[in-house]
Structure 1
């Protein structure tokens, strides 16, 4: 059995080169993604706290009353779901604001490139 022939393979359809990006747009993209990752980390930390820390501390939190129920019961019954919905809404609102800021940066970059 012959060894496979490993010759340099020429790419028949090379990938197109990405368009050049200005330094201002590169900074705007880095700022956008840094904000996105920090926001996700913060919201997931809150979700972790609601999902795991509150149930683990339910014995100590049982004396706290909220809406006529003990806090662990309320969080298990409906409070956690409401908090998750709020977290989703916060993410949507803040990312829409970040998207608008990135769009403004893109438009300003386009104007500065084509005066």
Structure 2
């Protein structure tokens, strides 16, 4: 019986090389993703507080009344749901702004790398 042929799949099909990016574009991407992660962490913290901390504080807030109803009623009835929707809207708005900044950096970087040609 012949020995099996050992060929490395990696050498036959090497992974594609990532495209070269400028230092400015690399910084723009790094800033974008740091902002994205910080935003997600902040919004998830607010969501955690609304989901877990406020219900634990509900007995202490039961004395506060709004329109004849106790404050924890508003948290449970509509406050938490509206806050979750607000978190989604805040994420969308801030990430669209960050996307536009990254796009501007990309366009500026592409314009800086474009060869200038002069017609005679």
TM-score of the superposition, structure 1-length normalised?
A: 0.89
Larger Rg: 2
Structure 1 runs (4+) greater than 3 angstroms displaced: 4-8
Alignment-derived partner of residue 65 in structure 2:
65
Which residues of structure 2 form unaligned runs of 5+? Answer: 116-120
Alignment-derived partner of residue 46 in structure 1:
46
The offset of 1:88, in angstroms, is: 0.1
Distance in 2, matches of 1:32 and 1:77, equals: 36
Distance in 1, matches of 2:16 and 2:29, equals: 21
SS in 2 for 1:82: helix
Distance in 2, matches of 1:46 and 1:60, equals: 20
TM-score of the superposition, structure 2-length normalised?
A: 0.85
Change (3 A) 1:43 1:14: same
Q: Deviations over 1:30-87 (max 9, x none)?
A: 1000000110011111101111111001110111223542121111111100000000
The offset of 1:24, in angstroms, is: 0.2
Distance in 2, matches of 1:35 and 1:22, equals: 20
Question: Superposition pairs for residues 1-115 of structure 1, below 5 Å?
Answer: 7=6, 9-11=8-10, 12-115=12-115
Distance in 1, matches of 2:19 and 2:77, equals: 52
Change (3 A) 1:68 1:32: farther
Paired residues, number: 113
The offset of 1:20, in angstroms, is: 0.5
Which residues of structure 1 form unaligned runs of 5+? Answer: none
